[in-house]
Structure 1
C-alpha cells in the first residue's frame, strides 16, 4: 500500500479543512464546504476519478434557504437513491442542526424538514448510513460549550428523527472522531477528542441498539482526532490515517485493522454494566455478524502500524507542497475562524441564559 499524488486537471478547489467528501457512483468524488484562509465555504466541487478532472458544481435550490450556508465540521452520507446524499449540521455563523438533500447529478439542494425531535446543533460529529442506506445515525459532536455522546436516527423513508436509547457501554463524549459502516447493521467508530484524546475502537449494532468495545492484537494507533477512516470490504480491514494529537499537531501515519475473530477486551472501570451477561451476549452476536458480513482472510484481529508492520512501513505519507509561510498563515486563519465561532456561540449562550 502506498500514497500516490493524483495530478488532476480542471478547476481545483482552494485549500480547506473540515470539509466533507462523498463518493458518487464509484466514479465521482464530491467536495463540499470547509474552512480556509477566506473563511467558511459552501461551494461544491466534483472530481471525476476516471478522467482525473476537477469541475465546479453550480448548485441550485428551489426555495430560499435550500442551499446550505457556508460551514465546516458538517457531515455527508448516502441515501437509498443513486447520486444523492444528505448533509447535517456543522458550524459557520453558529452551530447548525439543519438537514439538506443534495442531488449530485443536477446540483440541486433541497432543505428537509423531518418530524420528531432533531439532534441539538453540533459540528465535528459523524453520520453513518445503515440498513440499505435507509437510516442515518448521527453520533457525538460538539457545540462550543459541550461535547456530546448521544445517538440519533434519521429514517429517510418516513423522514423522522428518533433519539436512540442504547445498551451496553456508553462511549465517552467526543468530537472529531471517524466512523464507517460495516455491512448492513454495524457502525465502527475510532478515536476523537473530549476530556482527553481517545484511541478506542467501538461498535454500534443498529438492530440491537448496543454499543461495545472492539479489541484486537497489536498496538492501536495513538489517540487522535481529525483523522480519516475507510473500510476496505474485500480485504476485511479498516484503514486509519493522519489526524491530530497532543504533542504532535499533524500526523501522517497509517494503520490497518484486520477484522476477524474480534475479541472483547476488559471493560473500562466506569463501564461495569458492560460486563453483564446481556452485554456479553450482544458482543458475541455482533462479532458473529461481522464475521458473516465480511470476507475473512486473516486468522486474528490485528492492528498494524508503524514501526513494526512491513506493509505500513512501505506506506509513505504524501508530501504537502506548500511553503512554511503559507502553511502557517493557513493554520492561523483556521484557528482564528474556529475560535471566533466558539466565542460567538458562548456569547449567545450567555445572552440567552441572562434573558430567562
Structure 2
C-alpha cells in the first residue's frame, strides 16, 4: 500500500459528493470560499478519468420541461445505481432540499423522478448507501425542526417509493457529517472493537475494500484537530489498526471525497488548516478558533497493490533521474502522474 500520485489543479471543492461509475469519477457540487455563488445556480459537475487522471467540467442538460436543473449545494449525498447517479439532500445559503435528482452519465441529463411514500425531511450532513436495489440514508440535520436526526429512510430505486425503516437494536445518537458504508443487515449493533481505535472525528471519509472499512482524515471539533491519518477496521475480526503508509500523502483535512475503484483510492478536495502567508478564510465551524482554512484542489491516489513499474517510476521521481533514455510509454506515464490539472488555479496566482 502506497500513496503514488499527488496532482494539483483539480476542482477546488469542500463538502462535495462523488461517485464512481466504471473508470470515471463524478463529483457534484460542494463549495469554494473564493467563489461567489447565487443560490439557484445549477450544480456544477466534474468528471475524473482514472486512467489519464484528467479532470473536466461537464455541461449538463435537463429532460423535464419546466423543472430547473438541481441548484448548487453542499452537504448532499450521491449514490451510483447502474449508469445513473441519484442525488438527495444538501443545502445552499437559503434552503435545504428534499427533492431527488437523477443524473444519467450516458446522456449527461438531469431528471427529477416522481417519488411516493414517506419522503424524509430536507436535511444535509446525512449519509447514503446502496444495498441491492435500495438507497438508505441516515442522520443529518433537519432544518424544519432545527435538530439532528437518527432516523433511517429507504428509497426503492426500482419503484421510487420512500419508506421509514424500523430498525432493530439501539440506534446511534443523533448526528451529522458522519460516514457510513453498506454491509448486509438492517440491525443496529454496538460494536466493541479492539485494537488502536481512531480518535473521535467528523467530516472524514470512509470506504470498503476487501472486508475492511477504511477511514481517512476529518476533524475533532473538541480538540480543534484536523487529521490526515488512515485507519482500517476489520469487519470479520472486529479490530481497528492505524496504518503507516509510505509515499507523499494528503495533508490534514476534512470534508474531502474518497472513491475506491479496483485497487486504488482517489482522494480529492476538502479543507485544511493553513498558515497566514497563504490565502485564508475564517474557520467556519461553530466554535471560536483563531485557525484559518484553505480549500484544496489536489488529487491523491492510494494504491493497494502498486506494480513494479509504478514503484520504478516513483524512484525516478524521488531521485530526479534523467528521463531522456527512458521508453516513451514510461515518460507518458510519468507525465500522467505529475502533470497538474487546469480546472483550478494555484492559490495566490494572479490574472
- TM-score, scaled relative to structure 2: 0.67
**Per the alignment, in what secondary structure is the counterpart of residue 152 of structure 1?**
strand
Alignment partner for residue 258 of structure 1, among 231, 234, 245? 234
Deviations 1:53-97 (A, max 9, x none): 111111110233342101000000122x2x211000101121111
Alignment of 1:145-164 (within 5 A): 145-164=146-165
Name the counterpart of 2:123: 122
Alignment partner for residue 312 of structure 1, among 244, 255, 263? 244
Alpha-carbon offset, residue 220 of structure 1: 1.5
Higher relative contact order (CA 8 A, sep 6+): 2
Name the counterpart of 2:326: none
8 Å CA contact 2:3, 2:245 repeated in 1: no
Matched, 1:35 2:35: no
| Structure 2: gaps spanning 5 or more residues | 253-271, 287-351
Going from structure 1 to structure 2, the CA distance change for 1:65 and 1:105 (only over 3 Å counts) comes to: same
Alignment partner for residue 70 of structure 2, among 61, 68, 71? 68
| Structure 1: gaps spanning 5 or more residues | 187-204, 261-299, 306-310, 337-356
Matched, 1:242 2:196: no
8 Å CA contact 2:136, 2:153 repeated in 1: yes
Distance 1:75 1:138 in 2: 9
Distance 1:137 1:32 in 2: 19
Structure 1, 172-181 or 311-320: larger mean CA deviation: 311-320
Distance 2:193 2:248 in 1: 24
Distance 1:3 1:328 in 2: 26
Structure 1, 247-256 or 89-98: larger mean CA deviation: 247-256
8 Å CA contact 1:47, 1:54 repeated in 2: yes
Distance 1:127 1:39 in 2: 28
Matched, 1:329 2:330: no
Going from structure 1 to structure 2, the CA distance change for 1:335 and 1:58 (only over 3 Å counts) comes to: farther
Alpha-carbon offset, residue 8 of structure 1: 7.3
CA-atom RMSD in angstroms: 2.4
Alpha-carbon offset, residue 126 of structure 1: 0.6
Distance 1:335 1:106 in 2: 38
- Compare the two structures and name the one with the higher helix fraction: 1
Alpha-carbon offset, residue 317 of structure 1: 3.6
